[in-house]
A = this chain, B = another copy of it.
């Protein structure tokens, strides 16, 4: 198990997002549901996934990045963390 990850919280959230996606998958075939509602559910799942990324990034910061700065190559550690933040903050 990863030390730096809040694994239980992450598993719970990912399972929930998979549930949201299965619900969206069914909504797509249901012609009584307006498109706007399907889109709102997609946005909600996207935000939930962004939050999962945030939890991972923070766990990484609080464990691996602190550790790398205190006991490893500080420069390389922050260089790589800066890249991770950059990817996290964009929709590529």
CB distance from A32 to the nearest CB of B (A): 10
**Cβ–Cβ contact A88 & B28, under 8 A:** no
The 3 closest A-B pairs by CB, nearest first: A89-B89, A35-B60, A42-B53
Q: Are A54 and B89 in contact (CB under 8 A)?
A: yes
Instruction: Tell me which of B10, B81, B91 contacts A47 (CB under 8 A).
Output: B91
Given contacts A14-B21, A14-B24, A92-B47, contact A57 B69 (CB under 8 A): no
Collect the chain B residues with CB atoms within 8 Å of residue A65's CB. 78
The verdict on A57 contacting B39 (CB below 8 Å), with A5-B28, A14-B25 known, is yes
Residue contact A89 to B87, C-beta cutoff 8 Å? no
